[in-house]
Structure 1
Amino acid sequence: MEELSHKRKVTVMAAVMMAMFFAAINQTIVSTAMPRIIAILGGMDHYSWVITIYMLTSTIATVLVGKLSDMYGRKPFLLAGVIIFMIGAFLCGLSNDIFQLITYRGIQGVGAGIIMSSAFTAVGDLFSPRERGKWTGLMMAVFGFSSVLGPTLGGWLVDHMDWHWLFWIFLPIGIVALVMIIALFPKTERKTDEKIDYLGSLFLSLMIIALLLGFSWGGTEYEWGSVQIIGLFIASALFLGLFIVAEKKASSPVLPLSLFKNDIVVISNTIGFIMNAGMMGALIYLPFFVQGVEGISPTYSGYVTMPMSITMVVVSAITGRKISATGKYKRFALLGLPFMVAGLSIMAYMDSIAVAVVAMVVFGLGLGLGMPIFSLTVQNAVSPKELGVATASSQLFRNMGGTIGIAIMGTIMQTSLKHNMEDAAKGMDTSAIDPAVAQQLAAFQNPEMLLDQPKLEQLQQTLPPDIQPVVAGMIETLRESLSDALTTVFLSGDALVLVAFILVFFLREIPLRTSNKETGE
């Protein structure tokens, strides 16, 4: 990339952050509204797939684009990412059932993976590792701001407008991002001497797909010990072996094996994987507590998560500036992850909105301190020519961790909820109730009812007055079953984040480089 003035670098970063904000706000705006959307479209059993497919496609796109952008420059991929994401968002708004929504979210995921990989690598192109701390903090603040605005706006929209507008309202920002990138982002000379690693890309993609499908379907679609799940894991191991063979022979590997000889890269990526597995796996089910257990509407559900986002925005911006000023980063990870552990511990036992808000603040503090660190450590540990693939490897492990975490937590959630409901049903005697009314009461044994409060209240009003106490008891039992299941989910996520914290002690800290012309360790 050509040498740019500081002023030009700032304008380029404005374009990059606009593209990131467009992708992030479209992701966060649906978070509080997703339970209501699932209740409208049906298919709670497939709830985790709406998230999983997005993570799956974005993971594959992220790692493939890393090397390609090293060869062809970041600009064409940023543009392609925004266009693909816009197409996916538009189609999501046209969904008529859960399976269409899953398909279109997959398209969105491809665009998001391209945008995120190219955006974080662009920071490495423009600034030295010592300067990157400040900009990484600001990019995390963009995520934080979208997390403040998105859930609240998404909740309000789904309460007052047709849900389809959730996916369409920010499309104009995508157009603005496209124009800014075209006008401001510099071109990079194409490396014509390097060949695309088609074979390595194919085997890596197949390995990721088989692995993530195995975790996503295990315990839900099929038993963990079933032929299908074991077959997927065997296929994943086979494709991994073929990928390693292909990379050893490739002249320009899509993911160089030499990266994994670097202890800083390996430990940073392992921490990112485990941390995201625990964090994403737990947080994705937070709206179930706020809306399902506490009965808060999607509009006000966004206000509950807002303290986490505000805390994260402020702390991540301060952390980034401190890292740039001191050149030290490990201390912030050692400080941040215990706050994340504490936040998830509070979530596991929260019994009111007030306690949930406290959990959000504590967890947001940990996110702001810890999250900007591990991409920076990876970028600082490699030479500038490997910046794209190194950043992609970091995003790959984070995305895979998040996807596997969501899948495992989904299994834990469904299994625990089913067990709790079975236990509750044993103590319920409906033999004296009229069969026709008993059939209506069956609807109140479906956890999806808790996620659509207006429908729940409307259904309650259709039942005879003498049955109302029974209905109230069934709803309370349903809430308790869901709450107990969520406690198990949050504790599982907590355990994983604790493991990530222990690994931070083994992370070797090296000085942040002050130039992009120096080679890594």
Structure 2
Amino acid sequence: MNDLEHLEMRQKVTIMIAVMTSMLFAALNQTIVGTSLPRIVSELGGMEYFNWVFTVFMLASSVTAVLVGKLSDIYGRKVFILTGLGLFMTGSFLCGTATEMIQLIAYRGVQGFGGGMIMSTAFTAVGDLFSPRERGRWQGLMGAVFGLASVLGPTLGGYIVDHFDWHWVFWIFLPFGIVAFILIWRMFPQTARGVKKKIDYIGSLFLVATIVPLLLAFTWAGRDYAWTSSLILGLFIASLAAFVLFILTERRAENPVMPLHLFQNNVFSLSNLINFLVGMGMYGAVMYMPFFIQGVIGTPATQTGFVMMSMTLAMVAASAITGQITTKTGKYKRLALIGLLIMGSGMYLLSTLDIKSTNWMAALYLIVVGLGLGTVFPIFTLTVQNAVSHKYLGVATSATQLFRQMGGTIGVSVMGSIMLTRMQEKMAESMPKGIPAGNHSALADQFQDPQILLSPDKLAQLKSQLPQAVTGIFDQLVLVMRESMGFALSGVFLVGMGLMLFALLLTLLLREIPLRTSNQETSGEEDGQEDDPSSSTKTHAHG
């Protein structure tokens, strides 16, 4: 598997262009859907299944990524990235042919399986081609690809549904996928370990049974179902039971899908925990800042995208620069600390925004968050890859993606519950007096859903439907709701700041292992000794 490291630089660069084209294709198809989905739902119907378009993709990609990580360590990366591209293109084409919501959800699942394979093998391929010392700049560039997709995708999605048929949202990038497939097929060498090992089917089954109910529970809790509902509690119990069975199975497995001894390596464990916290903070900012820009400041949806773009562009720049610095210096811990400090500071600045804030202030503070996020994003994949033997590269890399994805899912759910709770409490305190008793309850109920502030048309429609007696104070109610949402989101961003400070403290405990200048393994690594924390402490300097 390590033979790729010794390819000529020109061939390595060509392979990386193919890999990044694959990633760009997958990432664009993910980000383009968000802004175009309301139009798609209005044509296909099935509004009650709206969230499943995102949920099924997230579940499929998370499960596939972690399973393919181990399999690619055995059978090589090429077969999985090609299979992933094939599935993703098939899913994208089928999504464009959907005539009802259930079909679209099923085809998004196919996309998710392919996307998980692409993302898992793409980041691992960097580890095959370059030593840990060299990986920094390429990890940074791949982070920049994600950023570029999140800038172009939503803007292009909105443009397509406004000017063309919505089917082209899923079809427009298919030529990119075909080009990426041909490049990978022709340029990426076939690599596989000589010894084929038994696949851990039972462990894989229990791992899936752990992840899926857990992610579903956090996706639905606080939004579709109460946290204490029997469904949510049942999902948590099912996930816990599957996790216990997974641990028991992995201890006995000949070739475990997730080798438990990796977690004895404190660099691996700490890095993944930090990745989890960064995922919570990142998705918290990305998902809830548009609520503030549209709902509290009152910015139209199209301009909101441009304000959010400031964070993405800052992230792209910081990610590329951090990668270059890491490769040049071989150091990463100080960069990680600085990035988390900047990101935490940005979260604090976001918490100070209120109803009088401007789009320029929001954009400036988002730039701070983006700079911190771009600095941190590439580092903790690199620390994991550098801390484990090369034979575990695939499974270790997929673990970092899984922890970040789970952090994002759990973060969005928990922060959403915090936002709703704080908003309802603030509105109960601030509800204006003088509303006729008969209409108070009905009017208050209409204002319980924060989404209403994101739709000026819906607000105008609601105002026109109200009895004449309460239309006079309608604007006052909207003001109360905007102030309440600002108060609620301030709490969300403060939680994000706390998460970044916790991640900062954990990073202080992280040992800075010098970045290896070769993927060639010593005899100790081949025996798996590198993954033992005691031996690692003796052989590496503390950070």
* Cα offset, 1:283, TM superposition: 1.8
Q: Secondary structure at the match of 1:120?
A: helix
State whether structure 2 residue 254 is matched by structure 1 residue 251: yes
Residue 389 of structure 2, aligned match among 377, 380, 383: 383
Corresponding residue for residue 120 of structure 2: 117
The answer to which of 15-24 and 474-483 deviates more is 474-483
Q: Secondary structure at the match of 1:255?
A: coil
Supply the distance in 1 between the matched residues of 2:80 and 2:349 (Cα, whole angstroms).
Answer: 41
Q: Does 1:404 align with 2:407?
A: no
Give the Cα–Cα distance (whole angstroms) in 2 for the partners of residues 457 and 161 of structure 1.
Answer: 28
Larger mean CA deviation between 164-173 and 200-209 belongs to: 164-173
1:172 equivalent in alignment to 2:175: yes
The reply to whether residue 510 of structure 1 matches residue 516 of structure 2 is no
The equivalent residue for 2:10 is: 7
Q: Deviation at 1:234? A: 2.8
**Structure 2 residue identity aligned to 1:239:** A
Q: Is the 8 A contact 1:207 1:236 kept in 2?
A: yes
Moved more, 146-155 or 357-366: 146-155
Q: Match of 1:22? A: 25
**Residue number in structure 2 paired with 1:309:** 312
One of 366, 384, 394 as aligned partner of 2:372: 366
Q: Cα distance, 1:53 vs. partner?
A: 3.8
The AA in structure 1 aligned to 2:435 is D
The change in CA–CA distance for 1:320 and 1:144 in structure 2 (over 3 A counts) is: same
- In 2: Cα distance, 1:426 partner to 1:303 partner: 34
CA contact (8 A) 2:74 2:196 kept: no
> What do residues 430-482 of structure 1 show as CA deviations (whole Å, max 9, x unaligned)?
4698x9xx989986765433333355456767889997644433333333333
Report the CA distance between 1:483 and its aligned residue: 2.7
Aligned counterparts of 1:464 and 1:207: Cα–Cα separation in 2? 51
Does 1:133 pair with 2:169?
no
Taking a change above 3 Å as real, the CA distance of residues 83 and 187 of structure 1, as seen in their structure-2 partners, is same
Distance in 2 between residues matched to 1:341 and 1:493, nearest whole Å: 7
2:432–2:476 CA contact under 8 A, matched in 1: no
Q: Name the CA shift for 1:58/1:268 in 2 (closer, same or farther; >3 Å).
A: same
Q: Secondary structure of 2:191's match?
A: coil
Matched letter for residue 356 of structure 1? A
* Paired AA for residue 352 in structure 2: Y
The 3-state SS of whatever aligns with 1:449 is helix
Aligned equivalents of 1:512, 1:178: Cα separation in 2? 32
1:32–1:298 Cα contact (<8 Å) kept:
no
CA distance in 1, matches of 2:348, 2:233: 33
Residues 207 and 237 of structure 1 are in contact (CA less than 8 Å); yes or no, is this contact kept in structure 2?
yes
Compare 130-139 and 289-298 and name the one that shifted more: 289-298
Describe the SS at the equivalent of 1:514. Answer: coil
Shift in alpha-carbon separation, 1:26–1:353, aligned structure 2, 3 A: same
Secondary structure of residue in 2 paired with 1:193: coil
Q: What SS is found at the alignment partner of 1:194? A: coil
Does the 8 Å CA contact 1:340/1:497 hold for their aligned counterparts?
yes
Encode CA deviations 1:249-272: one digit per residue, 9 max, x unaligned.
222111111111111101101100
Residues 153 and 302, structure 1, Cα contact 8 Å, conserved in 2: no
- SS in structure 2 opposite 1:285? helix
In 2: Cα distance, 1:142 partner to 1:95 partner: 29
Q: Which amino acid aligns with 1:7?
A: R
Deviations along 1:354-403, one digit per CA (max 9) or x if unpaired, are: 22101111011101211110000010111111111111111121111112
Out of 352, 362, 381, the residue aligned to residue 356 of structure 1 is: 362
CA distance, structure 1, for counterparts of residue 388 and residue 427 of structure 2 = 52
Q: Which residue of 1 aligns with 2:298?
A: 295
1:338 Cα deviation after fit: 0.9
Partner of 2:420: 414
Which amino acid is 1:275 matched to? Answer: V
Check 1:396–1:268 CA distance in 2 against 1; reply closer, same or farther (3 A cut). Answer: same
Match of 1:494 in 2: 497
Residues 1:342 and 2:377 are matched in the alignment: no
Asked if 2 retains the 8 angstrom alpha-carbon contact of 1:157 and 1:166, the reply is yes
Aligned to 2:475: 472
Instruction: Name the stretch that deviates more: 100-109 or 69-78.
Output: 100-109
Q: Which runs of 5+ in 1 are unaligned?
A: none
Post-superposition Cα deviations, 1:405-441, rounded to whole Å, max 9, x if no partner, equal 12222333333444445555574614698x9xx9899
Q: Which residue number corresponds to residue 145 of structure 2?
A: 142
- Asked if 1:331 is matched to 2:337, the reply is no
Quote the residue 1:281 is aligned against: 284
- Counterpart CA distance in 2 for 1:99 and 1:479 is 35
Q: Against the structure 1 CA distance between its residues 166 and 517, is the aligned structure 2 distance closer, same or farther, given a 3 Å change threshold?
A: same
Contact 1:316 1:372 in 2 (8 A): yes
CA positional deviation for 1:56: 2.6
Long gaps (5+) in structure 2:
531-543
| Percent of residue pairs identical | 53
Report if the CA contact (8 A) 1:39-1:451 is conserved: no
Alignment partner, residue 539 of structure 2: none
Structure 1 residues 46, 367: CA separation in 2 closer, same or farther (over 3 Å shift)?
farther
Change (3 A) 1:454 1:40: farther
Q: Provide the secondary structure at the position in 1 that maps to 2:298.
A: coil
Cα pair distance change 1:215/1:428, threshold 3 Å: farther
Task: Report the Cα offset of residue 509 of structure 1.
Answer: 0.4
1:72 equivalent in alignment to 2:75: yes
Quote the offset at 1:35 in angstroms: 7.1
What letter matches 2:240 in structure 1? A
Cα 1:417–1:35, aligned 2, differ >3 Å: closer, same or farther? farther
| 3-state DSSP of counterpart to 1:235 | helix
Which runs of structure 2 are paired with 1:34-49 in the superposition (5 Å)?
none
Report if the CA contact (8 A) 2:311-2:368 is conserved.
yes
- Contact in 2 for aligned 1:56/1:403 (Cα 8 Å): no
Contact 1:36 1:452 in 2 (8 A): no
2:66 to 28, 42, 63: 63
Matched, 1:83 2:86: yes
CA distance in 2, matches of 1:100, 1:42: 12
Look up the SS of the partner of 1:252 in the other structure: coil
Moved more, 164-173 or 278-287: 164-173
- How big is each residue's C-alpha offset from its partner over 1:176-211, in whole Å with a ceiling of 9 and x where there is no partner? 222222222211236453111101100111011222
Q: Deviations over 1:245-303 (max 9, x none)?
A: 22122221111111111111011011001121222133212222223333333322221
1:393 matched residue in structure 2: 399
| Alpha-carbon shift at residue 227 of structure 1 (Å) | 4.0
Residue identity matched to 1:5 = E
In structure 2, the partner of 1:232 is 235
Q: Is the CA contact (8 Å cut-off) linking 1:279 and 1:497 kept in structure 2? A: no
Deviation at 1:348, TM superposition (A): 2.2
TM-score normalised according to structure 2 size: 0.85
Partners of 2:73 and 2:192 within 8 A in 1: no
Report the RMSD for the aligned CA atoms in angstroms.
Answer: 3.2
Distance 1:391 1:96, change over 3 A: same
1:429 to 435, 438, 444: 435
Deviates more, 1:416-425 or 1:175-184: 416-425
